[in-house]
Amino acid sequence: MSQGHGWEGAVLRLLRGKDFEFTVTGVEDVTPYYRRLHFTDGGMLAATGVHPTMWVRLWFDNAGKPHQRAYTLVDPDPSAGTFSVEFALHDGCASDWARGAKQGDTIEATVHGSGFNRPEPAPSHLFAMGDLASLPALNSLLTDLKDAHATIWFESDSDLEGLPLRVAPKRHRLHTVPRVDSGAHLVAQVKGALPELLKDAPDPYVWIACDAATTRSLASLVRKELAVPRRRVHAQGYWQP
């Protein structure tokens, strides 16, 4: 690649991470705080294949030092070699880069660590907990598990109007939860509702993708208190408060 990625890059190379360069082909402002960038993949999808909730590590300059953040691919098309990435805009070098990105810009990326095991048997009901950071992954999951009914708890401090939530009203029930007490309110909402809902779901699948601390709390609730088998639970922290 054209620049070093510091010790993180060295570790990823040892772990056989694959490096690629993406090129911006278009920019779309979905809302004032949510931006979608379209890319060509530099040959990545042909080399790696595609799976639901697939993510890549993008490399940004942070005051002269390399900084990587993971982002989910949106609508990857292996035959065309294209995909999009959605950025929730806030403070930080990744958002700063996304705000200024334009057609023809390039960014380096590493693929390592992304994977997905489809639940077998297929879920009788999906229970999902996420937020703005995991919205693209949630959409990818809902698309892949297109026949499953779902109950979704979505934590947000902002109005959801305009956000690309791919919710099907006939199959999906969406609960919008304000972020209160660093995620404790979301945990309480799920704890109050999920035990009863699980009684009517013989083959549930629980997907948790919030901030790291909230994800740990929810995973403990689901696995230990509610005794959902580990193979029927996916929990991954998507950001640090």
Give pLDDT, residue 1: 39
Give pLDDT, residue 159: 79
Tell me, what DSSP letter sits at residue 211? B
The residue-averaged pLDDT of 100-115 equals: 94
Picking from 115, 160, 148, 135, the residue whose alpha carbon sits closest to that of residue 74 is: 135
Contact of 238 with 131, CB cutoff 8 Å: yes
pLDDT in tens, 38-79: 999 999 999 999 999 999 999 999 999 999 999 999 999 999
Give pLDDT, residue 112: 87
Contact of 241 with 211, CB cutoff 8 Å: yes
Query: Distance between alpha carbon 40 and the CA centroid of its chain, in Å?
Result: 20
Query: The tokens of 72 are what?
Result: 């989910």
- pLDDT tier for residue 5 given thresholds of 50, 70 and 90: low
In three-state form (DSSP H/G/I as H, E/B as E, the rest C), the secondary structure along 116-142 is: CCCCCCCCCEEEEEEEHHHHHHHHHHH
* H-only helix segments in the chain: 6-14, 44-48, 93-100, 135-144, 184-198, 212-220
Give pLDDT, residue 64: 92
Q: Is the pLDDT of residue 11 over 60?
A: no
Give pLDDT, residue 134: 97
Bigger pLDDT: 113 or 120? Answer: 120
Domains detected in the chain = 6-111 (2.40.30.10), 125-235 (3.40.50.80)
98, with CB counted inside 10 A (0-12, 13-18, 19+), is buried
* Percent of all residues in the chain with a pLDDT value above 70, rounded to a whole number: 93
Cα radius of gyration rounded to whole Å, the chain: 18
pLDDT in tens, 160-185: 889 999 999 999 999 999 999 999 99
pLDDT in tens, 15-24: 457 999 999 9
- Mean pLDDT, the chain, whole residue set: 92
Q: Is the pLDDT of residue 204 over 80?
A: yes
Give pLDDT, residue 16: 56
Bigger pLDDT: 9 or 146? Answer: 146
The residues near 129 (Cβ < 8 Å, ≥ 6 apart) are: 152, 153, 155, 186, 190, 206, 207, 208, 209, 210, 218
What is the CA angle 44-73-51, rounded to 5?
75
SS3 114: coil
Q: Is the pLDDT of residue 90 over 80?
A: yes
Could you tell me the pTM of the whole model? 0.90
SS3 14: helix
